[in-house]
Structure 1
Amino acid sequence: MDSSSEPVTVSGENEGAVLTSKWVELQSPERADSVLELLRNYGASQTQISKLIRSHPKLLSTDPEKTLLPKLEFFSSLEISKVDLLKTLTFNPKLLAVSLRNRILPTYNFLRSILSEKNVGVIFKHNSWIFLEGHCKHVVPNIGLLRESGMSQPCISFLLTRGTRVLMVNPEKFGQLVSEVKEMGFNLEKSTSVNALCALCGKNKLVLNRSRELLKTWGWSEDDFPSAFRKNPQCMVVSEKKLMQAMDLLVNKMGWSSGMIAKYPVALGLSLERRLIPRCSVVKVLLLKGFINENLNLGSLLKPTEKQFLEIFVNRYLGQVPELLSVYQGKVDIQDV
């Protein structure tokens, strides 16, 4: 049997793991061994190596010194941890196949002309596809359109960092998206316009439409949704489960009107476990004991920092309700106070 068609055994944490010849026709078993050794030296686990080879079999035929090592060294130079580097490469193994000189470096240089090294690292971790597709075809013309439309450079940088995929949309569709955002009354000089672009792009728009229909069942009017969206676009694209849990807590358990929540849509985007439930539990106790007015403004509950909230709603009443801090920390139930 030809040696190139024999199974390749990957030694390491999981002895005997086999990469079969159906994944790759090896020209050089020695080269394959060198590739595997290089990946292990960079801290890749056996599971990660297996995923990389399954997704990109030709990696075993790559020249480890001339092709693979320079890419690994470049990616390692970004401001990201080795753990994040390996997670990204395992998720998007084609990064090890695309040309460093002709695609990766030009895109990196473009990003660095606009962003800090740290934010380029953020893009690599969360939107590494831009290093595969490049920046010339879509990103550059789309940024040009935003500049012509009056978007400030800080907002463009914010969008490029946090919503990279939005800028990778076909320029014609992107132009329609920008027009839609402007028609909805967003000011392109403010960061809310960036959040709106992200919320209206791709799958998020489906989520947005679903949220609109769900909130109608809670009594939101035709005007409530667009008004709430203009105030806080990202809170309108949370999961269905999170949306329903938040509305159930605020409307059914706390007794606030659906219309009030529409005025403070930030409530729908806050963490239930870390923000909404602890604060609502404290306020519920204070309401039941008559220490605060039932017409409490929802914003005064949500806007304060944790330190401010503790001072206003917890520490002030500890003399009358000693268990209040424990309620806030989830150690004591409301009915036990």
Structure 2
Amino acid sequence: MFVYLCSRHLLLGKHRRTNLCFLLKNGFFIGKSFASVGLSESNEKLEEKKHSFAVSYFINYCGLSTKSAILASQRVRFQTPEKPDSVLNLLKENGFTNTQISRLVRIEPQLLLSNPEKTLLPKIEFFRSMGASSSDRSRILSSNPTLLRRSLEKHLIPCYDFLKSVLILDEKVVTVFKRSPWVVCIHNMVPNIALLRQVGVPQSTISFLVTNFPSTAFVKHTRFVEAIHEVKEMGYDPSKTVFVHAIQVLLRMSGPKLESKLELYKRWGWSKDVALLAFKRHPNCMLLSDKKITKAMDFFVNKMGSSLTDIARNPTVLFFSLEKRIIPRCSVIQILIAKGLVKNDMSLSTFILPGERCFLDKFVIKFQDRVPELLNVYMEKTDLLDVKIQS
């Protein structure tokens, strides 16, 4: 634009011949400059038109918000609806909901310019061939749209083949695809699985880990090696399922987070050894929120007078709802203890862990003739402090 204004001013001045020589001498090629300016302006208008059309399409046909549509349009632009229409039609014909399409397009807007028959359909058919239902296929691909951009031959098929060799059943392979966005990272999974076998983890336990905690199997090999070393140092037995439970917990928690959780338990009277005992019994007790740990420990220690060692040996009791399970059952047990009908030193696991029917039979119905209020106390989920113990 600057070139255009300068050249126009000089050419329209009094000394046009002299000015023209000046322009040529200084490299201002008038015809080229005018043409370049016009072309630049034309390109800008074309890009604006493409941008505007793409934004409108993302909003009206893909269900994106204005903000998401603008962001998507910065990654892919188009001026006609033919290609994106053909992609959306293919997705709808294969069971994708509007919500799933919106998510897929928001994450990978470039897919709208893909060839539906050559690029997208073969991958949808690939998941169909392994037994994934229509709803499973749309769920897998909308949750991880990058799968539609991956090479079928170089990534998806090799990944499937390896998972099938580990899990045996197609339905388990489908489950892994549903649960982990990193499922195609077999360059990490292959050495991780090999290491598990090397340290003596049974095939059934490896299958359990990959199916239920696939992200654990796909982490960087160096991190995986460190986690296995730590777990072995703690004394876990590789032949037990809890071994892989501990691995996945360590991989989800950084060192400082684990230390912070151990410190929280220590504030309730556990030594580090006792806290590690709880971790060995149920590793996921380190993943509970600080609030849940505090409320449960406060109730068991201060209101029930439970043994710290008993809690550490049975950390599963910390996972249950305080209001819906722990308080109602403890209310019943406190009445039975006061009546001398059960032992005072009964382990928490004896009455917290059993299923509903088992608890009612063993601790409520069994004593209902002698303590008629038991069922009401239990059904009303009365707080322990409000129970009126009648001697």
TM-score, normalising length from structure 1?
A: 0.86
The whole-number CA distance in structure 1 between the counterparts of 2:151 and 2:80 is 22
Q: What's the secondary structure of 2:251's corresponding residue?
A: coil
Moved more, 190-199 or 13-22: 13-22
Q: How much does 1:60 deviate?
A: 0.5
For these two proteins, the number of residue pairs brought into alignment is 334
Cα distance in 1 for partners of 2:136, 2:334 equals 42
Range with bigger deviation, 13-22 or 317-326: 13-22
Superposition pairs for residues 101-180 of structure 1, below 5 Å? Answer: 101-115=153-167, 116-131=169-184, 133=185, 135=186, 137-180=187-230
Across the aligned residues of Structure 1 and Structure 2, the Cα RMSD in angstroms comes to 3.0
Paired letter, 1:44: F
Structure-2 change in CA distance of 1:84 and 1:327 (3 Å): farther
SS of the residue corresponding to residue 223 of structure 1 reads helix
Deviates more, 1:314-323 or 1:210-219: 314-323
**1:325 Cα deviation after fit:** 3.7
Whether 1:218 aligns to 2:268 is yes
For residues 102-130 of structure 1, give each alpha carbon's deviation from its aligned partner in whole angstroms, at most 9, with x where no partner exists.
21121111111121222222211211312
Amino acid at match of 1:114: V
Q: Distance in 2 between matches of 1:275 and 1:332?
A: 11
Distance 1:16 1:112, change over 3 A: closer
Correspondence for 2:364: 314
How far the C-alpha of 1:97 sits from its partner, in A, is 1.6
**Other-structure match for 1:240:** 290
Over 3 Å counting, the alpha-carbon distance change for 1:4 and 1:244 in structure 2 is same
Whole-Å separation in 2 of the counterparts to 1:28 and 1:102: 32
Q: Does 1:56 align with 2:108?
A: yes
Deviation sequence 1:126-151 (CA, Å, 0-9, x none): 113122x2x1x211112112212111
Question: How do 1:3-82 residues align onto structure 2 when only pairs under 5 Å count?
Answer: 4-5=50-51, 6-7=53-54, 8-9=56-57, 19-20=69-70, 21-26=73-78, 29-76=81-128, 82=134
- Secondary structure at the aligned position of 2:285 is classed as helix
Report the Cα distance in structure 2 between the residues aligned to 1:308 and 1:118, rounded to whole angstroms. Answer: 33
**CA 1:38–1:145: 2 relative to 1, 3 Å:** same
Which of 251, 254, 258 does residue 208 from structure 1 map onto?
A: 258
Match of 2:166, SS? coil
In structure 1, the residue matched to 2:144 is 92
Larger Cα-atom Rg: 2
* Mapping 1:161-310, distance limit 5 Å: 161-203=211-253, 206-272=256-322, 275-310=325-360
Residue type of the alignment partner of 1:200 = L
Question: Does the C-alpha gap of structure 1 residues 228 and 71 become closer, same or farther in structure 2, counting only changes over 3 Å?
Answer: same
Q: What whole-Å deviation, never above 9, does each CA across 1:203-257 have from its counterpart, x for those lacking one?
A: 3655433321110111101220112212221222222222222212322332213
- In structure 2, the CA distance between the partners of 1:194 and 1:31, relative to structure 1 (3 Å rule), is same
> Relative to structure 1, is the Cα distance of residues 251 and 81 closer, same or farther in structure 2, using a 3 angstrom cutoff?
farther
- Per the alignment, do residues 290 and 129 of structure 1 end up closer, same or farther by CA in structure 2, a change over 3 Å counting? same
C-alpha deviation, 1:54, in angstroms: 1.8
Name the CA shift for 1:130/1:265 in 2 (closer, same or farther; >3 Å). Answer: same
Tell me how far 1:183 sits from its aligned partner: 1.4
Sort the Cα spacing of 1:285 and 1:119 in 2 relative to 1 into closer, same or farther, 3 A. Answer: farther
Matched residue SS, 2:238:
coil
The answer for unaligned runs of 5 or more in structure 1 is: none
Flag the 1:97–1:328 CA change in 2: closer, same or farther, 3 A.
farther
**Which protein is richer in helix relative to its size?**
2
Q: Which moved more, 1:166-175 or 1:59-68?
A: 166-175
Distance in structure 2 (CA, Å) of the matches to 1:278 and 1:89: 44
Distance (whole Å) between structure 2 residues aligned to residue 15 and residue 166 of structure 1? 33
Task: Percent identity, please.
Answer: 41
- Deviation of 1:4 after TM superposition, in Å, equals 4.6
Task: Tell me which amino acid in the other structure corresponds to 1:197.
Answer: I
- Structure 2: unaligned runs, 5 residues or longer: 1-44
The normalised TM-score by structure 2 is 0.75
CA contact (8 A) 1:28 1:61 kept: no
* Contact 1:12/1:46 (8 A) holds in 2: no
- Kept in 1, the 8 Å contact 2:189–2:218? The answer is yes
